[in-house]
Amino acid sequence: MKPGPALLGHYLTSLLLLFSPAFHHHTYGQSGQIDTQSIESMYDLNFTKAERDSFQTILADYQKLFRLLHEKPLKNSTPMALVFDPVPIGFEIETKQLPMDWSLPASVVLPANKEELAFLPVYKLSVLIRTRKITSLELTQIYLRRLKRYADTLQCAITILEQSAIKQAQIADQEISKGKYRGPLHGIPYGIKDLLTVEGTETTWGAAPYKGQVITETATVVKKLGAAGAVLIVKLTLGALAMGDIWYGGVTKNPWNLKQGSSGSSAGSAASTVAGLVAFAIGTETLGSIVSPATRCGATGLRPSFGRVSRTGAMALSWSMDKIGPICRSAVDCAIVFDAIRGKDDIDHHVSSASFNYQQKSIDIRKLRVGYIKSYFEATSPSKENDNKVLDVFRSMGLELHPVEMNLSVPVSAIRFMLTAEAAAAFDELTRSNRDSLLTDQRKNAWPNTFRGARFIPAVDYINASRQRYELVQEFHRLIKDYDVIISPSFGGNQLLVTNLTGTPCLVMPDGYNDQRTPTSISLLSKLYGEAPLIALARAYQEATAWEDNIPPLFKP
C-alpha cells in the first residue's frame, strides 16, 4: 500500500541515505533530481513517478537541514532529549530504603601466603581490612605487583595508576586507624573499564582515534566508589568503542585459555578480576558486554536494571540501553559494589530513585517464586548439561521451579537496530571524518561498517521500533511479574536481547566448564529493580557450589 499525502513527509525521513555524498552519483538523474526508485524497495516503499517528482523540493529542503545539523559538532557526552522509561504500566517503584544486611563473616583467616589474598572475594577482604589483619596498602601493592607481572600477558590494562593508588590506600589506612570506617569497600583495590573518565588521566575508549584523550571530569561511578573508600588502581581494556575484545593494543585474553579472547566488551574487567589483578572491576553492558566476558572468564557479573546507575562520565554508545555494573568474584561482592554505585547524581536523567533492600537474614530463598525458561534448557547447546545441573542444585535446596516460556508477540530482533542507530549517532563525527579507518578492527561487521550502514536507518522506523519496544516492556512484564527470579541459560534463545531492551536486571555466574575447559555460566533474571532476590538466590547457589572460587592455573600464587 502506498502512503497517503499526510504520511508522505514522514516517509521522506527514511531517505536519509540520499544525502550521503557517496551516493549522489548513483541517485541523481539527468535532470538533477534524486532518483529514489532504485532504493525505495529497501525501505518497503513504492511511489509513483508523479509522487517522486512532487517531493523533490522537499528532499532538497531536508538536505539543507541535515547539512545545518552537521555544521554543529556534538560531544559524545551530549544525550538525547528523549528519555527511555523502562517502567511498565502498573509497576510500583519501591523507594523506601531499609538498612543493609550483608551477613558478612565475623572473622576471616589470613592466608599464610599473602599472594592468595588476590583471589579472595571482596566480602572477605573487607573483613580482613576492617579487623586490621591486613592494610589497604599491603593489598594494593599485591595487586599492583600482579598487574605489572600479568597485564601484558592478558593484554588487559591500559593505564596502571600506581602513584594515586598508593596515596589512596595510605589515606584509607589512616582513616581506618582513626575509627573512620566507610564500609565494606574501604581500602579495596579495583579497576574500571577505560570508557569511564578520571580527571587527569587518559580515557581511550579502547580505540586508536581516541588515544591521548583526556576528559576533564571524573565519572559519577568513580566518585561514588571513592566516597566508599575503594582504591582505584587501573583503567582496563575494552573492545574498541565497547564491542568485542579487540582494542588498539591487541586482544584481551581469557585467563583460562590464552589462545582465546576474553570476549567483550568489558574484556579487561572480567579477565583482570578472574586472574586476581584487581579485587573487582566495573564494566558496562549495552547488549551482552557484562554477561559475555563474565561467562568466558568465569566471573560473577551484575547487569543492573536500566537507570539504576548514573552514566555520567561514561562513553555513550546507546542512550536507551547503556548500563554500568560490577564484575566480581561472587554475588555478595556484586551486591556490595552495586550498593555503592547506584542512585541519582542529578545529571543522568535516566536514573531512578528506586531502593535496593538487600537483607540476607530475612530472605528465605525457599519462599521465592522461581521460574525457569523450559524450552531454553531443553534446547541443544554446549552448556546444556551444566545449565540443567543448576536446576538440580536449586531443587535440592528445596526450591520449587516453575516452567515459563518467552512467548512474545513483538518482533524483538527487529528492534535491535535502535542500538545501531544510537551508536552511529554517538560516533557520527568519527564516520564523517573518515577517522573510523583508524580503528583496529575493520571486519565486515565491526563498528566502522556498522556505523556506515546505520546512516540508512529510517527515522520513522526507529520511532516505530521504539513503539514496539514499549509493547515489549509491557508484554515481558506480564510474563515475569509473578516471579522473583527466572533462571535462563545465559545465551538461551533471545533472552539477552529481550532483557537488555526491557532494561531488566541479570546476574550471571559460573556453573562449570565446557569441553575446552573454559567456563560456562547461568543467568538469573528478575523484574525491574529486582536485584536483591537475584543476588540472594545466586549467593545461595554459590554457597552450595564452588565454581566462583576456582583459579586459572596460569595465575595461581
- Residue 208 pLDDT exceeds 90: yes
Please give the average per-residue pLDDT across 143-170, as a whole number.
98
Please give the average per-residue pLDDT across 498-520, as a whole number.
97
Co-location of 346 and 226 in the same domain: yes
DSSP 309: B
pLDDT value for 34: 82
Residue 81 lies in a domain: no
Co-location of 174 and 31 in the same domain: no
pLDDT value for 32: 62
Co-location of 378 and 313 in the same domain: yes
Length of the chain: 557
**Spatial distance between the Cα atoms of 293 and 239, rounded to a whole number of angstroms:** 11
Please give the average per-residue pLDDT across 215-242, as a whole number.
98
Co-location of 169 and 233 in the same domain: yes
β-partners of residue 284 are 324
Q: Which three cell numbers stand for residue 3?
A: 502512503
Co-location of 42 and 133 in the same domain: no
**Spatial distance between the Cα atoms of 502 and 353, rounded to a whole number of angstroms:** 18
Domains contained in the chain, number: 2
pLDDT value for 33: 78
Q: Where does a domain end: 52, 72, 92?
A: 72
Report the alpha-carbon angle 385-520-337, nearest 5.
Answer: 135
pLDDT value for 150: 98
Residue 459 lies in a domain: no
Residue 445 lies in a domain: no
Report the alpha-carbon angle 305-500-352, nearest 5.
Answer: 25
- Give the residue carrying C-alpha cell 555544521: 71
Please give the average per-residue pLDDT across 386-391, as a whole number.
98
Q: pLDDT tens-digit profile of 63-116?
A: 999 999 999 999 999 999 999 999 999 999 999 999 999 999 999 999 999 999
| Amino acid residing at 447 | W
Could you tell me the pLDDT band of residue 14, with boundaries at 50, 70 and 90? very low
- Residue 196 pLDDT exceeds 70: yes
What is the domain-level CATH number for residue 478?
A: 3.90.1300.10
Determine contact, residues 464/424, Cβ cutoff 8 Å.
no
**Spatial distance between the Cα atoms of 329 and 549, rounded to a whole number of angstroms:** 7
Please give the average per-residue pLDDT across 180-184, as a whole number.
98
Higher-confidence residue: 360 or 155? Answer: 155
Range of the domain at 2: 1-72
DSSP SS3 for 173: helix
- Residue 8 pLDDT exceeds 90: no
Q: Which helix (H) or strand (E) holds 452?
A: helix 447-454
Q: Give the ranges where 186-330 is alpha helix by DSSP (H).
A: 220-227, 267-274, 291-297
Mean pLDDT across the chain: 94
Sign of CA dihedral 496, 320, 423, 283: negative
Nearest by Cα to 121 from 555, 544, 543: 543
Largest pairwise CA distance in the chain: 85
Q: How many helices (H) and strands (E) does the chain have?
A: 21, 15
Co-location of 45 and 141 in the same domain: no
**Spatial distance between the Cα atoms of 457 and 445, rounded to a whole number of angstroms:** 16
Residue 509 lies in a domain: yes
Determine contact, residues 463/101, Cβ cutoff 8 Å.
no
Measured in degrees and rounded to the nearest 5, phi and psi for residue 322 equal -65, 135
Distances (CA, A) of 300 to 107, 117, 378, 538: 23, 18, 24, 9
Q: Which helix (H) or strand (E) holds 232?
A: strand 231-236
**Spatial distance between the Cα atoms of 517 and 298, rounded to a whole number of angstroms:** 11
Measured in degrees and rounded to the nearest 5, phi and psi for residue 514 equal -95, -170
Please give the average per-residue pLDDT across 425-444, as a whole number.
96
Co-location of 315 and 367 in the same domain: yes
- Give the residue carrying C-alpha cell 589515606: 171
Q: Which residues have C-beta within 8 Å of that of residue 413, sequence separation ≥ 6?
A: 494, 497
Q: Which residues have C-beta within 8 Å of that of residue 82, sequence separation ≥ 6?
A: 320
pLDDT value for 20: 43
Q: Where does a domain end: 19, 47, 72?
A: 72
Residue 189 lies in a domain: yes
Answer whether the bond into residue 265 is a cis peptide, omega within 30°.
yes
Could you tell me the pLDDT band of residue 18, with boundaries at 50, 70 and 90? very low
- Residue 221 pLDDT exceeds 80: yes
**Spatial distance between the Cα atoms of 332 and 429, rounded to a whole number of angstroms:** 41
Co-location of 39 and 133 in the same domain: no
Q: Which three cell numbers stand for residue 333?
A: 561482592
Co-location of 328 and 257 in the same domain: yes
Co-location of 149 and 236 in the same domain: yes
Co-location of 246 and 317 in the same domain: yes
Whole-number percent of the chain with pLDDT over 70:
94
DSSP SS3 for 343: strand
pLDDT value for 80: 95
Residue 472 lies in a domain: yes
pLDDT value for 35: 85
Q: Which three cell numbers stand for residue 520?
A: 560456562
Q: Where does a domain end: 45, 72, 99?
A: 72
Nearest by Cα to 239 from 164, 290, 171: 290
The DSSP annotation for 457-478 comes to S-HHHHHHHHHHHHHHHHHHHH
E-assigned strand segments in 405-494: 485-489
Residue 97 lies in a domain: no
Co-location of 62 and 128 in the same domain: no
Q: pLDDT tens-digit profile of 456-478?
A: 999 999 999 999 999 999 999 99
pLDDT value for 491: 98
Q: pLDDT tens-digit profile of 279-334?
A: 999 999 999 999 999 999 999 999 999 999 999 999 999 999 999 999 999 999 99
Could you tell me the pLDDT band of residue 28, with boundaries at 50, 70 and 90? very low
| Amino acid residing at 515 | D
Distances (CA, A) of 451 to 413, 423, 424, 457, 459: 18, 7, 5, 10, 15
The DSSP annotation for 33-66 comes to -B--HHHHGGGT----HHHHHHTHHHHHHHHHHH
Residue 200 burial (CB < 10 Å; 0-12/13-18/19+)? exposed
The secondary structure of the chain in percent helix, strand, coil, rounded to multiples of 5, reads 45, 15, 40
Residue 95 lies in a domain: no
Report how far Cα 91 is from the mean position of its chain's Cα atoms: 24
